Structure 1
Amino acid sequence: MGPVSATELTLDLLAAWLRRYAELVGDQKAYLTELDSAIGDADHGANMARGTAAVVEHLDEANTVDALLKKAGMTLVSTVGGTAGPLYGTLLMRMGMNTGAVTELSPQEFATALRAGLDGLIARGKTELGDKTMVDALTPGLDAFDKALADGGDLAAAAKAAQAAAAAGRDATEPMIARKGRASYLGERSRGHLDPGATSAVLLFDALVDVLG
């Protein structure tokens, strides 16, 4: 566990973040699959659990932030089926491409890298806010992270603000009609269900809050 007063995202802290994310995905595997069975292929939980477990196996190999994130992203692309693998993989790979070969990130550098990753995910998925996807949790989460930093908040405060905003974004997907992915084939019948991707996306912020203490 990182100290409560962490001001930089060190390599160890970023590895702990991805490790904690894998734990949370594993814990919620059945729930994520249950959500996906309503409007998707009923495999999101199993796929994400398999992919994040594979990521954990490689976390100790990286000596720089970009290597850590790129390897994690490539592992997700190669091990997670469906659309989630390429999208989450793109998020992490683009983050790594943005950071360069450093050993720690400031909160602002982390936010900038996450924004680059989100932009990459959006371009890859050809998706936008309101499509009932992971973007509906990631975008408000990252916006809240940026705002908290701009308002003088520290890393932990920004992570908690992002967590709350992402969760609200996830909850807002329930009444939406899906416009992307398998769920979009259901049309009106996709209403009344939380999006599985938005739900697993919130866990990224949950994991960050957890490792920051």
Structure 2
Amino acid sequence: MSSCSVKYSCRMDRNEISLVKTQLLLSGVKALEICRQAQTIRDSPPVLVATTEPESDGSVPRVPRSEEVTTAARNLMSKFDHEVCQVQRAMSKFSSSTSPALKSRLDDLDSLVTSTLSPRIRALTVEADKLTSELATTHTLALKQLNDSLDKGMRKRRRRFRWVSRFGFVMLEWVLVGAMWWMWLVVMIFKIFRGLWRGTVSGIRWILWL
């Protein structure tokens, strides 16, 4: 009883066989159409292919659709390898020629500043400090005494011109104070620039592993 039912259930009628044949034919047609489209070449290539390296005659490579992604990837890898080679050549050139030349120039500048400019600036700084000290002590007192003497003489002779002497003393005092501040400012600016120069040279040497 059971064997008869199995045989009966496994039998297929003609409609089912025709349906299976139709589906197989449709699948074959679709596969052929997909293969045909994959082998066709587009009239206007996509962006990935259009931006690749041109042919020897300058035209855009014309490849089937199935090879577009492969061609684009291959050309991108070629460009990437070319850029890497250029970067490596630039780094090698910098290490072999640019860096030693820059180091030599920095050493020359440092030697110039250390052996020539620093002693001169140091002597100038000492003279400026000495002049500032003299202006702040001895010369100020002498000028004040001279101004007092002139003030007394002018007061005896022409009392109406007393304001002229006072104004002259005030102006002279302001000129002396301004000169002292100017000398102090010059010395401080030099010290600041000298510190910046030394810091810059040390920073460049540290960056270049000198």
- Asked whether the two chains share a fold, i.e. TM above 0.5, the reply is no
Larger RCO, structures 1/2 (Cα 8 Å, 6+ apart) = 1
**TM-score category (smaller protein):** under 0.3
Greater C-alpha Rg: 2
Q: TM-score, normalised by structure 2?
A: 0.21
Q: TM-score, normalised by structure 1?
A: 0.21
